[in-house]
Structure 1
Amino acid sequence: MNMASEHADKPLIVFLGGLNTNLPEFERIKQKFAVLFYTPSTRKQFESDLETTLSKVVAIYGAWNHFASIGFVDESLIERFPPSLKLITVCSAGFGGIDLKALRKRGINFCNSPTFGAAAVAETVLYHVLNGFRKFSIFESLLRQEKHTIQTRTILGDVKKFDADTGKFIKNNDTSVNYCFGHHIGPLDVHSPVGKTVSIVGFGAIGKEVGTRLSSLGMEIIYIKRNKLSDKEEAELGYKVRYAAKLEQVVAESDCIVLCLPATPESQHMINKELIDKMKKGVVLVNVGRGALINETDMIQGLQQEKIGFVGLDVYPEEPLVSHVERQDMTLTPHIGSSTRENFDQTAVFCLENIENFVESGKLQNVQN
């Protein structure tokens, strides 16, 4: 379960989860510090090990799934942390379930990683948006069954109906069907995103990268954030944008809505029945922020009433569980928005350098508490 270096007299660095051990930054860590790879099986085991194996830990490196097996890092658990622990630095940008105030009270710094994966998340948005308009995933799924391009397009073009309640296309059993170009699936047209309007909610590093990619498709970009960018900042984006302070102001004209913001008490369930009722019929809704941004019950009702035309999700309200997997009017990815080798290594390097700099000089980046 555990693998420790032989340098027991050196400051102890504990690694929760894996990393690329071939990184030169990790080689430096191994030379300078005692290293322990640790995988707690249960919270109870972790609490016990804090008094023994981990009693002299100086810093904890948290990989992407850092405290998953432990549960909430709450005040009762933090009180058990040894006095030697002064830093927890994690690869993820998000840090839900960690009591930052209790950590600060104990003198423990908590650092997350910058959004190195903004471009990767934007690529995931691009996938969902293209599916929303072009329905590629539906064509691909049937093509894998039929192994025939014309037959695939013909079957989908001649489907009897789209059942909005179940989100499924009902196939036509009539074999005397006409050739289909692929421009519709039964009664639903396949559209190009060119000239369509997209509202990007949350316009930080990720939102700006999303704007770059969707603008390149020929989409009109509206960005929504608390404060408008300066004229200079807008010009530096390299693509034309329009500002709105609230989604409500532009929801009726939006062909596509992309959520790129964190879940806060203010943003929780921001997509709800009241807002959905104001949406443009057939809107494409994509969420790469947090599952709590959408009232899932209201979203499904919006699909059933065909107010929402298509949904693309990379985050879910009850992760790791995912619902509604049978619906064909949704594309689902397993929270892999930033999951690239480049991002995996970049965040690791950031955390490793944060540990090294802190232990040697007290310097830190991205302290959150």
Structure 2
Amino acid sequence: MKIAFFDTKKYDKKYFDKYNSTHIIKYFEMKLNIDSVTLAKGYDAVCVFVNDEITKEVLEKLKEFNINIVALRCAGFNNVNLKIAKALDIKIVRVPAYSPYAVAEHTIALILTLNRKIHKSYLRTREANFTLSGLTGFDLNGKTAGIIGTGKIALIVIKILKGFGMKVLAYDPYPNQEKSKELDFEYTTLNNLYKNSNIISLHCPLTKDTKYIINKNSIDKMKDGVMIVNTGRGALINTQDLINGLKSQKIGYAALDVYEEEGDYFFEDYSDTIISDDILARLLSFNNVLVTSHQAFLTEEALSNIAETTLKNFFEFENDLSLTNEVIL
């Protein structure tokens, strides 16, 4: 198969070249959208990532080019118009679980770094400033963590937090009672979770029901000084409401690996320009906000799994096999 590979980064090429032995892959740095879709002409398939735009217009063009498969090298698929893909009989495949440990461990790293001000201390000591003013954190032991969504990643996060001696409350419309008993955490309502959690971490998919699950109304129900952590999807949080909560000091800390309008910025270098997104710029101005650039997945193990699973998806399609990782509407 000839594959048009969009939004390519150096690590993509490294790992796909390592595991690919049968396909012809053309790597494009630009994202797939209506302006770049013509680059896919002459190929048999496309491979995309989280910020590519698989819209109705893009899908119609792909069908015109006789491309009948789009492979997401990620778990999420909210950037794909699934209804149109189904109508055009274009198969959508993904990588449902590349490394839950990678994202879970990054979640814990964000919590610890933000709480104990490791990032601030690092910058200070680089300039021979060894003062402790403003670096006070709090013990995790004995505190309560609220986990929204209890999939594979969340269960690893819960296991680690229990190791710190934390109480864990969880919310999921499909509770896993067996894991609740095994890991000693409690399912509860969202309102109770908001009311009683010192730290709230988001691990649910982005759907019409979960979009802006963190908003003014939910923030008002939270403890004063709450820490909010998001390594899921950016639009789980209404960012303007988050900013207002930070300004009023209702929210004491925010750790974000994702941002709802990240497509124009994340994965790119804008260090020599001015950020025109006023909301993102405001977020970055808070000294109690820690932002990383959608890197929670970025481990050697995860990148290997992404490449192997995506290539397996193409193999199954090419050989008319059942598509193990097809996204079904």
Greater CA radius of gyration, 1 or 2?
1
Deviation (angstroms), 1:276: 1.7
Given candidates 44, 61, 67, the residue that maps to 2:47 is: 61
SS at match of 1:80: helix
**CA deviation map 1:342-361 (0-9, x unaligned):** 11111110011111122124
SS at match of 1:210: helix
Q: Does 1:357 align with 2:288?
A: no
- Residue type at the aligned position of 2:250: K
Q: How many residues align?
A: 305
Given candidates 233, 243, 254, the residue that maps to 2:179 is: 233
Q: Pairwise mapping of residues 194-233 of structure 1 onto structure 2 (< 5 A)?
A: 194-230=141-177, 232-233=178-179
Q: Which moved more, 1:135-144 or 1:117-126?
A: 135-144
Q: Pairwise mapping of residues 1-369 of structure 1 onto structure 2 (< 5 A)?
A: 11-16=1-6, 17=8, 18-19=12-13, 20-23=15-18, 25-27=19-21, 29-30=22-23, 35-39=24-28, 46-50=36-40, 54-55=41-42, 57-62=43-48, 64=49, 68=52, 72-81=53-62, 82=64, 84-145=66-127, 147-149=128-130, 152-153=131-132, 156=133, 185=135, 189-230=136-177, 232-236=178-182, 239-244=183-188, 246-319=189-262, 320-321=264-265, 322-323=280-281, 324-369=283-328
Relative to structure 1, is the Cα distance of residues 307 and 76 closer, same or farther in structure 2, using a 3 angstrom cutoff?
closer
Identity level (%): 27
Relative to structure 1, is the Cα distance of residues 49 and 347 closer, same or farther in structure 2, using a 3 angstrom cutoff?
closer
Give the whole-Å Cα distance in 1 for the aligned partners of 2:194 and 2:308: 40
Paired position in structure 2 for 1:6: none
**CA deviation map 1:89-122 (0-9, x unaligned):** 1211122332222222222110111122311111
SS at match of 1:198: strand
Deviation (angstroms), 1:201: 0.5
Structure 2: which 5+ residue stretches go unaligned?
A: 266-279
Please tell me the root mean square deviation across aligned C-alpha atoms, in Å: 2.3
Paired position in structure 1 for 2:274: none
- Residue type at the aligned position of 2:196: E
- Residue type at the aligned position of 1:354: N
Give the whole-Å Cα distance in 2 for the aligned partners of 1:310 and 1:209: 22
- Residue type at the aligned position of 1:277: D
Give the whole-Å Cα distance in 2 for the aligned partners of 1:345 and 1:366: 17
Relative to structure 1, is the Cα distance of residues 257 and 79 closer, same or farther in structure 2, using a 3 angstrom cutoff?
same
TM-score in terms of structure 2 length:
0.84
- Residue type at the aligned position of 2:96: P
Give the whole-Å Cα distance in 1 for the aligned partners of 2:303 and 2:116: 31
SS at match of 2:20: helix
SS at match of 2:206: coil
Relative to structure 1, is the Cα distance of residues 214 and 298 closer, same or farther in structure 2, using a 3 angstrom cutoff?
same
TM-score in terms of structure 1 length:
0.75
Give the whole-Å Cα distance in 1 for the aligned partners of 2:16 and 2:326: 25
- Residue type at the aligned position of 1:58: D
Give the whole-Å Cα distance in 1 for the aligned partners of 2:179 and 2:39: 50
Relative to structure 1, is the Cα distance of residues 48 and 286 closer, same or farther in structure 2, using a 3 angstrom cutoff?
closer
Give the whole-Å Cα distance in 2 for the aligned partners of 1:61 and 1:317: 22
Deviation (angstroms), 1:194: 0.8
Give the whole-Å Cα distance in 2 for the aligned partners of 1:122 and 1:75: 34
SS at match of 2:259: coil
Is residue 141–residue 166 contact of structure 2 (8 Å, CA) maintained in 1? yes
Give the whole-Å Cα distance in 1 for the aligned partners of 2:307 and 2:157: 24
SS at match of 2:44: strand
Relative to structure 1, is the Cα distance of residues 265 and 349 closer, same or farther in structure 2, using a 3 angstrom cutoff?
same
Give the helix-richer structure, 1 or 2.
2
**CA deviation map 1:107-144 (0-9, x unaligned):** 21101111223111111111121134322222222222
